[in-house]
Amino acid sequence: MKASMKFSPEVQERAVRMVTEAQGQHDSQWAAIVSIAAKIGCTAETLRRWVRQAQPRQRAARGADDG
């Protein structure tokens, strides 16, 4: 069974934005993810999943939807 949701959607969205903003300060997206995950108290893998799930929404918001 799935564990109860610990982080609100707002926190998840903010964490994804933080990763996007921090990528230029790190050698890779993974390094940014590890750094931000430690700050918000989730695992890097959890944050990586949030980032991957947000990518199609971000592309659509920019008008670059491949659809």
CATH fold label, 9-62 = Arc Repressor Mutant, subunit A (1.10.10)
Residues of the chain where predicted confidence (pLDDT) is lower than 50: 1, 4, 65
Nearest Cα residue to 33 out of 7, 55, 51: 51
pLDDT at position 53 is 95
pLDDT at position 1 is 43
The domain locations on the chain are 9-62
5 alpha carbon, distance to own chain's centre: 16
pLDDT at position 56 is 78
